[in-house]
Chains A and B, each alone.
Chain A
Amino acid sequence: MVINIMKKLKYIFITFYFLLSTFYLFSQEQRFPKPEFETGYEQPSTITPEPRALALEYFDVLILIIVLSLASYFALKKRSRQGILWLSVFTLLYFGFYRNGCICSIGSIQNVVQSFFDPAYSISVTALLFFIIPLIFTLFFGRTFCGGACPLGAIQDLIVVKPISLPKWLNKTLGLIPYIYLALAVLFAATGTDYIICRYDPFVGIFRMDAKFHMVVLGISFLLMGMFVARPYCRFLCPYGVLLSWMSRFSKWHLSITPAACIQCKLCTNSCPFDAIDFPTNEKEVIKSGLGPKRFITYAVIIPLWVAAGIFVGAKSHTFLSKANPDVYLAELLISQPELKNDPENIDIETFLASGKSMETLVEEAEAIRADFYIGSMIAGGFIGLVIGFTLLNTVVFRRRQDYEPHKGNCFSCSRCQDYCPVEK
């Protein structure tokens, strides 16, 4: 009897709340107290599975160090292509398919950048170690990370079928893209907008066997392209490769093609799918081409012009770039199309209106972010201009080489050339 009355009362209450539901969306108090059970019912507890243990994250770092050490040993000491090959298979299976490609050193750039600019964010030690360890190894042994320890590199390296050699000018021009990508990634991470490296990682969908349609298309097209243009992502996109190549150029040791004196047989040049082997300088051609101090000076003088142009382009494009930030986008949308406020379909606007945040605060926040973008994109533009200027300058600088040597900045330490070299130790 009592229960029945209670039941009826509850119905009345429910109808009441039904009407007022919108006002109570965020209320925290318990509207309906827990009933007293007569049958001795025991309430179950909420199940919350634990995340991956921290110890396992450190185990990943340990694996990374071991793989890097082995890769360096195979490339520099053992001179074993077999070793590197099996190591990259392991990397692909472990860091790629088992760990689902997260966290990787390439993406960790953004974590490091965000930890500098966002006071609310502090980087986890694992992410920092994934960022710093490969760079340190590269500073001593060259880009052995790319050869053996990077899952993105491994998947591309294993599918190289018939690599074609790209003309030098194309290699150089496409080689500028990673700098632009790096600049944009740093800009977006610093302004707290997005992690574009992770979002547009073409292979992570393959590692996870699950992705949005356009990412699958991107990943597969990269792999198809990679059969002929070897390692397209590494050479023409990878922003971490920029940092690695800076380190590698000044590395203490680096793999050498020959174990002893080079016999100029030119076999190794056919072996490198990445056009990363420098030919001996043909002095006659250098003189004939007329490239000399004059052009060097011209190119050196126009570097500031490139930088200025970059800053100009950056300043001009900051409005466009800042639209990637959700706050700026929302503010702009509300200003340009105020009629959207009545559109129940637009969830972002509906949520904003329901949150009780005033338009003024939103615009203020958006303006602050846009101001960050203004400075940031000018710096990014200037950086890209500087890189273009120096790339041009580099085309007229000649270093005397007597032998075939790997280009320290571009060589991925895959050890293919060592396999081809006929010289015995």
Chain B
Amino acid sequence: MEKNKTKNRREFIQGGVRLSLSLALGGISGMAVSSAIKDDYVWQIDPFLCTQCGKCATDCIMAPSAVKCVHAFDLCGYCDLCGGYLKPDANEQSTAAENQLCPTAAIERKFIEEPYFEYHIDEDLCMGCGKCVAGCTSFGNGSMHLQIVHDICLNCNQCSIAQVCPSDAISRVKASEAYKVKGDFTNKPEV
């Protein structure tokens, strides 16, 4: 009888605590659900905040980085002295390695017609250092810019580049609008 009583008491306490724990869990999830969104989040760079500091190339957990230069062709001015392709002090406008700004020669130049070239970025070679972005933004239209490419990005819970980005350019965006490509951007009406 005595034993039964202790057992009952213990079971009663256990049941009570269990109930309150489940209520607490329900409360937490309820509060979180009220602000939750169905969409998932991914990380993306705002090209207008980016200052091309070069940390994207070094701080991503992927090697080479999941940050790549993308070329918004809408914006490209097809400058024949491309600030993204050629070094500012290039000897001549040729494809010689000494003249190329890109340290990995990831920018391919394709001839269209005199004097225009199409510039295309080879994602496998690009390491996201942003040198061409700096060149294009300072001397050209800024059509080359850095973006996190989502078939490479592992979508870490905390982006290790975002943590060190000096201009706080990397933030979570909804997965349904995963890119901030400049061309799209300028076409969009101001909010």
Interface residues in chain A, defined as those with a beta carbon under 8 Å from any beta carbon in chain B: 3, 7, 10-11, 14, 17-18, 21-22, 24-28, 30-35, 37-39, 41, 43-52, 54, 57, 100, 102-103, 107-108, 110-112, 115-116, 121-128, 132, 135-136, 139, 194-195, 198-199, 208, 210-212, 246-247, 250-252, 326, 347-348, 350-352, 354-355
Contacts known (A34-B78, A44-B120); A125 close to B38, Cβ less than 8 A: yes
Q: Does B72 sit within 8 A of A, measured CB to CB?
A: yes
**A194, B158: Cβ atoms under 8 Å?**
yes
Residues of chain B with a CB closer than 8 A to A35's CB: 77-78, 116
Contacts known (A139-B25, A210-B62); A115 close to B36, Cβ less than 8 A: yes
- Distance in Å from the Cβ of A210 to the closest Cβ of chain B? 6
**A34, B112: Cβ atoms under 8 Å?**
no
Inter-chain CA distance A382–B41, complex, in Å, is 34
Inter-chain CA distance A41–B78, complex, in Å, is 12
Inter-chain CA distance A7–B18, complex, in Å, is 78
**B150, A51: Cβ atoms under 8 Å?**
yes
Contacts known (A17-B138, A46-B72, A250-B14); A128 close to B36, Cβ less than 8 A: yes
Listed from nearest, the 8 A-B pairs whose CB atoms lie closest are A32-B77, A195-B158, A351-B166, A51-B150, A21-B138, A49-B151, A122-B35, A250-B17
Inter-chain CA distance A249–B107, complex, in Å, is 60
Partner of A32, one of B118, B141, B181: B141
Inter-chain CA distance A289–B80, complex, in Å, is 89
Tell me which residues from 30 to 71 in chain B have a Cβ below 8 Å from any Cβ of chain A.
Answer: 31-33, 35-42, 48, 51, 53-55, 61-63, 70-71
Residues of chain B with a CB closer than 8 A to A38's CB: 113
Q: Does B104 sit within 8 A of A, measured CB to CB?
A: no
Partner of A251, one of B18, B74, B113: B18
Residues of chain B with a CB closer than 8 A to A28's CB: 48, 142, 186
Residues of chain B with a CB closer than 8 A to A37's CB: 112-113, 116
- The majority secondary structure among interface residues of chain B is loop
Instruction: List 27 A-B pairs, Cβ < 8 Å.
Output: A17-B139, A21-B138, A24-B138, A28-B142, A32-B77, A32-B79, A33-B77, A37-B113, A39-B113, A46-B181, A48-B150, A49-B151, A54-B175, A102-B154, A107-B157, A108-B157, A110-B158, A121-B172, A128-B29, A128-B33, A195-B158, A199-B160, A210-B61, A212-B61, A252-B18, A347-B166, A351-B53
**A34, B35: Cβ atoms under 8 Å?**
no
Inter-chain CA distance A121–B29, complex, in Å, is 15
- Distance in Å from the Cβ of A105 to the closest Cβ of chain B? 11
**A136, B137: Cβ atoms under 8 Å?**
no
- Distance in Å from the Cβ of B131 to the closest Cβ of chain A? 14
Q: Does B155 sit within 8 A of A, measured CB to CB?
A: yes
Contacts known (A14-B139, A26-B48, A41-B113); A116 close to B31, Cβ less than 8 A: yes
- Distance in Å from the Cβ of A402 to the closest Cβ of chain B? 11
**A122, B79: Cβ atoms under 8 Å?**
no
Inter-chain CA distance A122–B29, complex, in Å, is 13
Contacts known (A24-B138, A46-B73); A54 close to B39, Cβ less than 8 A: yes
A-B pair count, CB < 8 Å, reads 196
Contacts known (A112-B28, A123-B35, A347-B53); A31 close to B157, Cβ less than 8 A: no
Residues of chain A with a CB closer than 8 A to B149's CB: 48-49
Residues of chain A with a CB closer than 8 A to B120's CB: 44
Inter-chain CA distance A208–B152, complex, in Å, is 12
Partner of A128, one of B32, B41, B54: B32
Inter-chain CA distance A211–B164, complex, in Å, is 16
Residues of chain A with a CB closer than 8 A to B71's CB: 46
**B156, A132: Cβ atoms under 8 Å?**
no
Q: Does B115 sit within 8 A of A, measured CB to CB?
A: yes
CB closest chain-A residue, reference B78: A35
Inter-chain CA distance A11–B21, complex, in Å, is 72
Inter-chain CA distance A347–B130, complex, in Å, is 14
Q: Does B163 sit within 8 A of A, measured CB to CB?
A: yes
**B36, A102: Cβ atoms under 8 Å?**
no
**A30, B115: Cβ atoms under 8 Å?**
no
CB closest chain-A residue, reference B153: A51
- Distance in Å from the Cβ of B90 to the closest Cβ of chain A? 12
Beyond contacts A30-B75, A46-B70, A107-B158: 13 other A-B pairs, Cβ-Cβ < 8 A, are A26-B48, A34-B77, A41-B116, A46-B73, A102-B154, A132-B29, A198-B156, A198-B158, A199-B163, A251-B18, A351-B51, A351-B167, A354-B51
Q: Mark B69-95, 1 if CB is under 8 A from A, else 0.
A: 011111111111101000010000000
Residues of chain B with a CB closer than 8 A to A136's CB: 22, 25
Tell me which residues from 83 to 125 in chain B have a Cβ below 8 Å from any Cβ of chain A.
Answer: 83, 88, 112-116, 118, 120
Inter-chain CA distance A250–B11, complex, in Å, is 9
- Distance in Å from the Cβ of A340 to the closest Cβ of chain B? 14
